[in-house]
Amino acid sequence: MSANVLDGKAIAGEIRRELADEVAALVGSGCRPGLGVLMAGDDPASAVYVRNKTRACDELGIHHETVMLSASSTTEEVLGVVDGYNGRDDIHGILVQLPLPAGVAAATALERVDPGKDVDGFHPVNVGLLVKKRPRIVPCTPAGIMEMLRRSDVEIAGRRAVVVGRSDIVGKPMALLLLHADATVTLTHSRTRDLPSVTREADIVIAAIGRAGLIRAEHVKPGAVVVDVGMNRIDDAEQARQLLSPKRLERFAERGHALVGDVHPGVWEHAGAVTPVPGGVGPLTIAMLLHNTVKLAARQCGVAC
């Protein structure tokens, strides 16, 4: 058996095409959605993420601005940028790109964002609304995964789901969304004992723990749906031989590094459906960032879309 591919890239394209009509309607009403981005430090992955997000904004006609601060930035400097975005009527969504430099209090920065402009859904107010099943904004990656499951006709209600990873960004909100969709959910993490015995019970496995190739065939029951959220950069040749296809190994030899997920390739011969890395969850995260920006703009402008 070889797993079906859950094509996040194609589904993200569907979402973006739908959003194009909504953006056009907002602009026609005199409300152009605006996204304010703050990036501090010189993290290469963050630079790529921000570039991809702002390029996607350009394609949809969403206004965006990015403030770049140095790695030596202080919490006060970061808060000053957030306050500036909070006070502007043309900025409807605010994105504080993580990670922030070690000297910056990230929790303080995220809580400073106006909850009504919190495009990532990380503010405690929005987290609380999600817990109460009254979400205003849902974190982008879990929201994208739910869209992918629904649009791929994956049954959720009544199914057993296991989320591997308990981060505030993916694991916890993912578990809540699955629970709200009537799945029976288990949230696991690095200290879960005998993880394979837990994940083998699942109809749906969400791998979001940030460890390359952790989820193997013995973790997955035949026919399960496996969503790989991992984005791990590897530069070890032996690890690459275990995790990469021959074609990707050639590129690894040229570049000296590669991006892999949390799911081992052996799962593809065992599961019913799997998301690839890259090309799976990543495009959905960006699509839902655009969705959240448009949603916040419509709310602030008092326009139905």
| CATH code, 197 | 3.40.50.720
Do residue 146 and residue 266 come from a single domain? yes
The domain boundary residue, chosen from 56, 84, 117: 117
Whether 302 is in a domain gets the answer no
- 117 has catalytic annotation: no
What's the average model confidence in pLDDT over 127-150? 97
Whether residue 236 lies in the annotated active site: no
Indicate if 113 and 159 belong to the same structural domain.
no
Same domain? 108 vs 198: no
Residues 109 and 75 sit within 8 Å (Cβ to Cβ): yes
Is residue 174 a part of any domain in this protein?
yes
In this structure, are 162 and 264 located in the same domain?
yes
Query: Which is more confident, 103 or 196?
Result: 196
- The answer to whether position 196 is within a domain reads yes
Distance of CA 108 to the CA centre of its chain: 21
21 is catalytic: no
Contact 239, 259 (CB under 8 A): no
Q: Given this model, what pLDDT does residue 47 score?
A: 84
Q: Report pLDDT digits (tens) over 202-216.
A: 999 999 999 999 999
Instruction: Choose the final residue of a domain: 49, 82, 117.
Output: 117
Assigned domain for 258 exists: yes
For residues 145 and 61, membership in a common domain is answered with no
Please give the tally of structural domains in the chain.
Answer: 2
User: Crossing angle of helices 140-151/8-28, nearest 10°?
Assistant: 110
Residue 90 inside a domain? The answer is: yes
Q: Average pLDDT over the chain, rounded to whole?
A: 95
Confidence of residue 20 (pLDDT cuts 50, 70, 90): very high
Taking residues 125-132, report their average pLDDT: 98
Residue tagged active-site, from 97, 114, 228, 295: 97
What are the start-end ranges of the H helices in 114-263? 124-131, 140-151, 171-180, 195-199, 237-243, 246-255
Range of the domain at 39: 30-117
Q: Are residues 275 and 182 in the same domain?
A: yes
172 falls within a domain = yes
Would 144 be classed as within a structural domain?
yes
The single residue listed with the structure tokens 């030596």 is: 72
d(CA 163, CA 178): 9
- Average pLDDT of 92-100? 96
99 and 145 inside one domain: no
Q: Report the share of the chain in percent with pLDDT over 90.
A: 93
pLDDT of 66 over the 70 cut = yes
**Measured between alpha carbons, how far is 69 from 77 in angstroms, rounded to an integer?**
8
User: Is residue 148 located within the same domain as residue 111?
Assistant: no
Region 254-281: mean pLDDT is 94
Same domain as 151, residue 269: yes
Same domain, 82 and 147: no
Q: What is the mean pLDDT of residues 188-210?
A: 97
Same domain assignment for residues 84 and 40: yes
Residues 220, 182 share a domain:
yes
- CA distances to 152, 160, 227, 231, 234 from 245, in Å: 25, 31, 19, 17, 14
Question: Is 98 within a domain?
Answer: yes
pLDDT bin (cut points 50, 70, 90) of residue 44 is confident
Q: How far apart are CA 238 and CA 147, in angstroms?
A: 36
Distance between CA atoms of 141 and 61, rounded to whole angstroms?
A: 22
The single residue of 114, 117, 118, 120 carrying the catalytic annotation is 120
pLDDT at residue number 46: 83
